[in-house]
Amino acid sequence: MKSPIPDYLQSVVENVRSNDGGAPASYIDVLAKADTSKLAVALAMVDGHIYSAGDDKIEFSIQSISKAFVYAIAIEDAGLPAVLKKIGMEPSGDAFNHLSLQKGTNRPFNPMINAGAIAAHSLVVAPDATLEQRTERILDALSRLAGRQLQVDEKVFEAEMKDANRNMGIGYMLKAAGIISCDPAVAVRGYIRQCAITVNVKDLALMASVLCNGGVHPVSGEKLMPPESARQVLSVMATCGMYDGAGEWLATVGFSAKSGVAGAIMGALPGQVGIAAFSPKLDEHGNSVRGVDICRKLSADMGLHLMNSSQVALSTVQTSVATIVAGADTSKVHHPNCDREVVVFSLRGAVRFAGSERLTRALEEELSGPHSDACAVVLSFRETYSLNAIARRVIHEDIKRLLEDGRNVVVTDPSGVLQWDPLKTPRPAVVKNEVEAREVIGGAGCRTVTTSDGW
């Protein structure tokens, strides 16, 4: 069975392609010349599995999305109390490159605007560290997050340095306020260099999944940051990551996110999924126009808003195999000579998108691999408390594709959580318990001779 998730992501890409609004960043000549037709999206689950669509191999400079991760590095190197002494956590309400500090504290408002990001960069390694030491530290950390060696785009770096006057002004403002102690020009140069690191949407989604996974890399298992740091970063991203559009973003899209002026948006839903979108044209806030559209659609279709009342519990998928012997009465049986294995997929808990994705992947892997010749597939919802709309939609599509592949599908759904329309065709056999499921598969008197879980 082919997973429906890549097809869905491709449909999302095509859905937003017609939006031709916005313009690429004009103040950096390399970005101003970007190919505005490029468009991509990626999802990374918290076990490291990645789905993507569109121009997912195109690389672009990470720009301000680096701020989220450098903030985490600064917390690790200097400690959270020292970072909070220098950088606030409140939305500024101003543009990302505004020259302003909080009244009374003289701190930058937050680490997601340029002033706060330059201050965070100055805390990496140590206040007296060299430009090379900080660059090496940041590049190594971001490469481990992405799971591959990343590089600095020297053309982007040089282009940004040609028009760095505003950031230099911010640097000297921070120096005068006592926020940074190093040479402002060194701090600004290092900050611009971190922004010129190149990634693609799959890199960004995987990097976001580390934040979703409490700082643990979902593929390598390496602990890249303490869970408290991941929580701190996600919290500030939620309220400040989309600049002066952050309030509307949180209310309408509803997950932590950070944008960059190359046209990327990185999003994260803790415990579930890392998200990345890319399209170079920006809106008045400096956020990707199509990227925002993609995230809005993903949130609406997949129920990703943090404040959704259905976000209440975790779910698990268990796969087991039973070998059955057909009974005497096989008149109503799909495969009457079924003395072979039956694969049982049990979904438990309150299921959202992440749970339905795990079921989809289990179906795809098991039925195209070790159990490709199974005579029947049983989907058990006996211990499923609830399905939200996107989970139900994904599972319905899974069942449809299994049936189209000629699979014998039996659904055990005593509580009716799947809400399968009996008039909908093709349709599986829907039963209330395992006894009825055995009879559908092997006829009256059918019995199990081996099983891995008591089915």
Residue ranges of the chain assigned to CATH 3.30.750.24: 317-443
Token duo for residue 227: 């869970």
Q: Are 201 and 276 in contact (CB under 8 A)?
A: yes
The CATH number given to 4-302 is 3.40.710.10
Question: pLDDT tens for residues 235-277?
Answer: 999 999 998 788 899 999 999 999 999 999 999 999 889 999 9
The pLDDT score that the predictor gives to residue 445 is 45
Segments in 33-129 forming alpha helices (H): 66-78, 80-86, 114-122
The pLDDT score that the predictor gives to residue 331 is 39
Q: How far apart are CA 355 and CA 84, in angstroms?
A: 37
The pLDDT score that the predictor gives to residue 267 is 97
Residue ranges of the chain with pLDDT lower than 50? 311-313, 327-338, 444-452, 454
CA distances from 64 to 35, 204, 267, 269 (A): 20, 12, 13, 19
Q: How far apart are the first and last CA of the chain?
A: 23
Instruction: Reply yes or no: is the peptide bond before residue 218 cis, omega within 30 of 0.
Output: no
Q: How far is CA 224 from the centre of its chain?
A: 17
Token duo for residue 161: 């340095």
Helical packing angle, 114-122 and 165-176, nearest 10°: 60
Residue ranges of the chain assigned to CATH 3.40.710.10: 4-302
Question: Which CATH number, 3.40.50.1460, 1.10.10.10, 3.30.479.30, 3.30.750.24, labels domain 317-443?
Answer: 3.30.750.24
Per the listing, tokens 């970072």 go with 83
Q: Quote the longest CA-to-CA distance of the chain.
A: 89
Question: pLDDT tens for residues 77-116?
Answer: 999 999 999 999 998 877 777 888 888 888 999 999 999 9
